[in-house]
Amino acid sequence: MKKINNPTKNNWSEILKRPTQTFTDIEETVKGIFKEIQQKGDVAVQKYTSLFDGSSSENCLVSEAEINEAISLVSEELKNAIEVAKTNIFKFHEAQQTQKIEIETTEGVFCWQEKRPIQKVGLYIPGGSAPLFSTVLMLAIPAKIAGCTEIILCSPPNKQGKINPAILYAANLCGVTKIFKVGGIQAIGAMTFGTATIPQVYKIFGPGNQFVTVAKQVATQYGVGIDMPAGPSELLVYADESSIPSFVASDLLSQAEHGTDSQVVLVTTSEDVVAAVEREVYLQLEQLPRKEIAIQAIEKSKLISVENEQIALDLINEYGPEHFIICSKNERFFVDGIQNAGSVFIGNFTPESAGDYASGTNHTLPTNGYAKTYSGVNLDSFMKAMTFQKITEKGIQNIGKSIELMAEAEGLQAHKNAVTLRLNLNK
């Protein structure tokens, strides 16, 4: 891990760079695959599934028999754990429901707002060496609460043309409509355009590698919404002398094992904390099954010591971490002062893993600095706020003159006439 002591503000942007490729590095590859899917549909999807995942299965729709097999393969202990997580995630997202907002802005002018579900949503679930069945819960549960009528799920198959049983179990448990054995760029392209097999959706959700992230951004150019640009995982921990170094190290490693392009950062005002956490990182690293992946992420990560808590907070807000852990005797300062973070974890006994799985908050979060402008996935992510208005004859008399004057000042005579005709109805 790279140690950085009291960096000047001028150097912050350089030391806080993410270890990711730029959009332009990947964009042309994505656009080429999208164009082929747009023209050839399932044929192109099958081609790239074979190329990238080594699976040559022609039927990418998961059958009921496959789902039943998956249910039988998941242990009762894991099913019980998933049920605990499902209950907490459901409680937290159900509590986010809001009522209709209605107000009479002027006598006779009634305005209100109601929310409606996005009808067709696509969920992308990473597979491979770390099949994220927990992400199924994070996306399908709020989609179901919102009332989405079509919930499509895509996840990459293994070389035998199978999806991890836990992913299928969770998808079936949470009410996913259809499941497809398709991953990567081709999955995002298929949900963007629709094929003979895979339905087109209105909005795509879910994390993924850099190729999936760029594919989602390209999808927006074709009128499909996305949750956010969610790419490689990242974690920043602020820790002082009140922190427990072994806990901090375990949190850093929990994100480092996601992938070689993950980034973890420690910020502190104590060089003793830097030394203690670094020592623990390398001790724990030796015990990890995904050690080789974690090592590559750790090599690109940072241990940053600064002079005081205000500088630390300013630096953290500049970084805008996906996950932010606060282990400080002055935790209220950081809780009140944090402006840019996807999700915040407070205290020595709040591991980031809790949010990843079972506390109830959503783990689909903005990365790569997008926490400055994007929220993590929540119930509203699956809904649209629609406004309504009804104006009585008295109401148009009350606001009509103002509308006429404003329309005329903008040079929009037809706008003015639409009001004038109504004002003159009984004259």
Q: Is 323 annotated as a binding residue?
A: yes
CA dihedral 10, 12, 15, 21 (to 10 degrees): -100
Candidates 280, 322, 352, 363; catalytic one: 322
User: Mapping DSSP to helix (H, G, I), strand (E, B) and coil, where does residue 349 land?
Assistant: coil
Q: Is 233 annotated as a binding residue?
A: yes
Q: Is 169 annotated as a binding residue?
A: no
Q: Is 410 annotated as a binding residue?
A: yes
End-to-end CA distance of the chain: 80
Please indicate whether residue 241 is annotated as part of the active site. Answer: no
261 touches 234 (CB < 8 A) = no
183 touches 157 (CB < 8 A) = yes
CB neighbour class for 171 (10 Å; exposed up to 12, middle 13-18, buried from 19): buried
Candidates 234, 323, 352, 363; catalytic one: 323
Q: Is 50 annotated as a binding residue?
A: no
Residue type, 237: V
Please indicate whether residue 323 is annotated as part of the active site. Answer: yes
- DSSP class of residue 61 equals B
Alpha helices in 41-176 (DSSP H): 42-53, 64-73, 76-94, 133-146, 165-173
Q: Is 356 annotated as a binding residue?
A: yes
> What does residue 389 show for φ and ψ, rounded to 5 degrees?
-150, 150
Whose tokens are 């590095």? That residue is: 25
Which is it for strands 109-117 and 101-106: parallel, antiparallel or unpaired?
A: antiparallel
- DSSP class of residue 421 equals H
Q: Which residues are catalytic?
A: 322-323
**Binding site membership: which residues?**
124, 186, 209, 233, 255, 258, 323, 356, 410, 415
**Binding site membership for NAD(+): which residues?**
124, 186, 209
